[in-house]
Chain A
Amino acid sequence: MAGTLRRAGLSLARRLRAWVTGHRAPLIALGVPLVLVIIATAWNLQGWPGRVDEDEGTYVAEAWAMIDPHHLANYTYWYDHPPLGWAQLAGYIWLTDGFARYPSAVDAGREFMLLVTVASCVLLYVLCRRLGFRRTACSVTVALFGLSPLAVYYHRLVSLDNIGTLWLLAALVAAASRRRNLSAAFWAGVWSSAAVLSKETTAILLPVVFWVLWQQAQPHTRKWHLSIYAVTFALFSAFYPLYAALRGELFPGSGHVSLLWAVWWQLGGRQGSGFLFTHGTLANSLLTLWLGTDRWLLFAALMLVPTGMLAPRLRPFAIGLLIQAAMALTGGYLPFFYVTAMIPFAALLIGGVADTLWEPASSRLVEAACRLIVLAAAATALIVVIPQWSSALVRQAGQNGAADTLAATAWVERNVPKRDVVVVDDYLWLDLKRAGFNPLWVQKANSNVQSQGELPHGWRSIGYVVMSDQIVGTLAGTPLVQEAVNHSVPVARFGGGLVVRRVVP
């Protein structure tokens, strides 16, 4: 028995070794940047960025809602986003018992984001190969995608955009299949649907998938590929409105939420973020954040869009980047995570232009000139960009952005009676809930909740409010909490603007 096992093990090892030997070049080309990306993303994964956007907490809390009380969301699910994104998060956390590993639930979510980033890197590498990039160009693309401080920042945050982008890359990989199999069109449709049902804003990039599919298909089978792709995408995506219809929540009506109202609100009902370049607007502050974190990746990619338009294989991606830039300029609502889906396009465009310039040309002179440009750009990057990125990484490694929230949570758990209603932002909500407390998400402290019976005596039912920057920003929209805060005294202060206030009726 042991002998058989050992023989089987040996044969497996031998086969593995043969496989590794046979795939040495791709393994190195992907492995080196991938290891760097893993280090960059995982190093102080929980400590930086700090608690910068409570949506992180929201998605993890909704994942918990699926695992524990078996709902799509903790409060009424109102079709704010399709639930597939946090369903995947929930699946991972449930399978690995992720909540048990960390002091704060958000940390388990960030761990999943690390996996998503690794998977996205692999997909991006395969996509570049399928577009005909040299291995070095693929490695550079993956490195840009994962090492830019902007990428590190957003890849670490728990967001649906990371998951949606992963599936978008999968759809692009399928669409760029060189065997031109019809099933590639089918899978491109399935992954596109997964992308949109994970994060609905990915839909604006589907023309890129369609275009790549168009380019790859041969003229006499093109109509088959495109129609199979479109119909597969439509059929799988239709399950979301079908779900709403089965629950009687497709059309707006009194007394219930509805998908169509939510779509209307997301598209037009929401207050815009202002013009991107007007000082003082929300959009402008986001732009400042993005460019302050890393100006090189986005700048370089946008500069290269005209060059990218000249190479047919890069054209869809250049347009993809342009679409996203244009959408940001419309002045509509600009989500905090918006830039996430731009990162792979920017990286691919830079790597792709470099690869295209490296192509052998008919004239020796032109070829030498082009290659000289690439080498010069690479040298500049080595001298200017890499030191900036590395020092940013080292600087971030020393920070512990989660400490204040953890301390506040611990204080509440020690000092607040379990049945008291504690108004919190979504970073604290799940940790308190799981510890058996009675937290109330500040966004839900309105008349709606009152009618549900959580606040029978209005603001007087609130015991404590844990003030954070996020809550200060939403007070105007939640008069109940405002009232409670007006009748409260601070009882504990923590860094990062966190103050625990006890309501004194």
Chain B
Amino acid sequence: MGKPDTEVGDFLLVVGEDFMLYAIRRSYLRARRAVIRHRARAGRRLAVALAVAAAAAAIGAAWCALAPPLVPAFLLIATGFNLVIGGTEARWRLYGWRTPVASAEIAWPEPVQPGSEKLNFDIIVPLRDEANVIGETLRGLLRQTHPRYHIVVSLCDDDTSTIDAVRAVVRENLLANNITIITDQYANPTKAQQLNRALEVCMGDVVGVIDAEDDVAEDLLVHAEALLSRSGADVVQGGVQLMNLGSGLGKWFQVHNVLEYFFWFTSRMAFHASTGFVPLGGNTVFVRREMLERAGGWPLSITEDCALGVRLSTEFGAKVATAYSARLTTREEAPPSIFNKETGSLFWQRDRWVRGFIEEFLVGRWLKMPTVRQKVLAGYILATPILQAMSFVMLPAAIVIGLLTSTPVGIALLLFTPYVPIGLTLVTQLVGLHDFCVKYGKKASPWHYASLLFLSPLYQVVLSGAATVAVYKYATGDKTWYKTGRAAEHRGVSGTMTTAA
């Protein structure tokens, strides 16, 4: 509608056409969601059967532990299980470092040349109670070097303080005119609903998601376009990195959380992409709009990101490309507390994630992966949080039972074999922290290393506890969840995104 001599009537007509188009697209998206829900049901039955079988196996294992003659069998099974869990963790977290070329392979490609950008981007920023951080985030997004992008801010209509904060930024940038504000009323708002609402007005070729507190590199979009066009991928997942290592004893867990992200995005994500099954991250995700709409937008799950990744991988054969370069990584903050729901809680965030993974596992879409190997890997990836929690309990249990029941020395030695991958994982944590500091120009104190070395079991207690709560909530049908709050600690510590360059 940019013709200079447009008359008023034409203008209204164009707006009207836009509206029609909008209504059609809205109903199309809803219809797609209904179709996909129906498809999921058959898988769900199979998954319930599987869950029953798993429960039976667990009861069997418990019985074995209690019946004395079967103690060695239980010990060996537990050891094998712990070896697999520990071994895959150690191996997959090093995927990005396995060869010198591997780290080059996962890096972002060269950006598209200025002037040859072809794709239109819509960046959705879903917001809820983010007045304190959103201004800086939006101003950062507006500095993108890509010439063709539009920001869609999705808000809840009762969240006036955030709406005001966004409006302030819009007023500062009236000339640029590339922020659209979408507000709606939600009975029980979720990120998925807000994203879908925003998707309805997206017109570009590619839809991206950025969270309220994200520091985004200025040239992320030109790199994303390069990767999309070079790899022919339908989805691109970029790296995300928590930045605050935490200072003070109360923040001991943050360095663990930071390294979880570090290894997830440098290695695990690339490994998942190589298997063709990628539970996506919550932001720095770019999806071709056409594919996103065919999938009916984001699944209405409490972890819509993971669910979308699973759905696109399994049902739409989406090709997912991942990329990681420290400079282009989206920077976030680690939750400021373990349990405090208001300021942001690691525990309740993890509870929500694990429930999302459990749901995806039980729905059983992963069974639609083409080969047996991919099915196994996909199921394993989804079950990992639960399996790791089980392993965390079984590790000491096996040794204690072994030592209490006068096990032969040979078998007793075997019981300790899972500590080999665990030891390797621990050393990768330490080297990883050093590497993180080099790549991001941060300084870690000896206390951070000490925390990694000595408090890892405690961190596992937190994660396993969250997994247990998640299983309980899922089993009892408890759907409540808590949005992770923001304290913007990463900005206090690292400065703004200008340090990203």
Name A's B-contacting residues (CB within 8 A): 179-183, 186, 218, 220-221, 223-224, 227-228, 231-232, 234-236, 239, 242-243, 246-247
Contacts and interface: CB of A to CB of B under 8 A. Distances in A.
Given A223-B435, A224-B431, A227-B430, A246 B424 contact: no
19 contacts: A180-B99, A180-B100, A181-B99, A182-B94, A182-B97, A186-B424, A221-B97, A221-B100, A224-B97, A224-B431, A227-B430, A227-B431, A228-B424, A228-B427, A228-B428, A231-B427, A239-B416, A242-B413, A246-B412
Contact of B424 (A181, A218, A220, A231): A231
A229 to B, nearest CB: 10
A-B residue pairs, 4 tightest by C-beta: A231-B427, A235-B423, A218-B100, A235-B420
B374 interface: no
Contacts of A183: 98
A243 B417 CA distance: 12
A181 B102 CA distance: 9
Contact of B434 (A218, A223, A228, A235): A223
B315 to A, nearest CB: 35
Nearest to A72: B409
Contacts of B98: 181-183
Chain A residues touching B, majority SS: helix
A220 B431 CA distance: 12
Contacts of A243: 409, 413
A231 B425 CA distance: 10
Contacts of A236: 420
A168 to B, nearest CB: 21
B81 interface: no
B419 interface: yes
Given A180-B100, A235-B423, A236-B420, 8 more contacts: A182-B99, A186-B424, A220-B103, A221-B97, A232-B420, A232-B424, A234-B423, A243-B409
Interface in B55-106: 94, 97-100, 103
Interface residues of B, number: 20
A218 to B, nearest CB: 5
Interface string B392-433: 000000000000000001001100100110011001101100
A227 B409 CA distance: 30
Contacts of B434: 223
A224 B429 CA distance: 11
A186 B419 CA distance: 15
A1 to B, nearest CB: 30
Nearest to B416: A242
Contacts of A232: 420, 424
Q: Which of B100, B420, B423, B431 has the most CB of A within 10 A?
A: B100
Nearest to B98: A182
Nearest to A217: B100
Contacts of B412: 246
A224 B103 CA distance: 12
A221 B416 contact: no
Nearest to A232: B424
A242 B411 CA distance: 12
Contacts of B424: 186, 228, 231-232, 235
Nearest to A189: B424
Contacts of B99: 179-182
A224 B94 CA distance: 9
Contacts of A221: 97, 100, 103
Nearest to A224: B97
Contacts of A218: 100
A296 to B, nearest CB: 41
Nearest to B427: A231
B409 A246 contact: yes
A421 B420 CA distance: 47
A242 B403 CA distance: 13
Given A181-B98, A218-B100, A239-B416, A247 B423 contact: no
Contacts of B97: 182, 221, 224
B352 to A, nearest CB: 33
A247 B412 CA distance: 10
B441 to A, nearest CB: 16
A196 B424 CA distance: 20
Nearest to A247: B409
Contacts of B94: 182, 224, 228
Interface in B125-167: none
Contacts of A179: 99
A231 B100 contact: no
A183 B424 CA distance: 12
A505 B476 CA distance: 86
Interface in B292-345: none
A239 B413 CA distance: 7
A247 B423 CA distance: 23
Contacts of A223: 431, 434-435
Interface string B39-69: 0000000000000000000000000000000
Contacts of A239: 413, 416
A246 B209 CA distance: 55
Q: Which of A179, A180, A182 has the most CB of B within 10 A?
A: A182
A286 to B, nearest CB: 36
Contacts of B419: 235
Nearest to B412: A246
Contacts of A242: 413, 416
A82 to B, nearest CB: 13
B95 to A, nearest CB: 9
B361 to A, nearest CB: 29
Nearest to B432: A224
B328 to A, nearest CB: 18
Contacts of B416: 239, 242
A180 B413 CA distance: 32
A440 B261 CA distance: 64
Contacts of B435: 223
A327 B413 CA distance: 34
B111 to A, nearest CB: 22
A224 to B, nearest CB: 5
B434 to A, nearest CB: 7
B112 to A, nearest CB: 27
A218 B104 CA distance: 13
A245 to B, nearest CB: 10
Contacts of B431: 223-224, 227
A469 B434 CA distance: 60
Contacts of B100: 180, 218, 220-221
A8 to B, nearest CB: 26
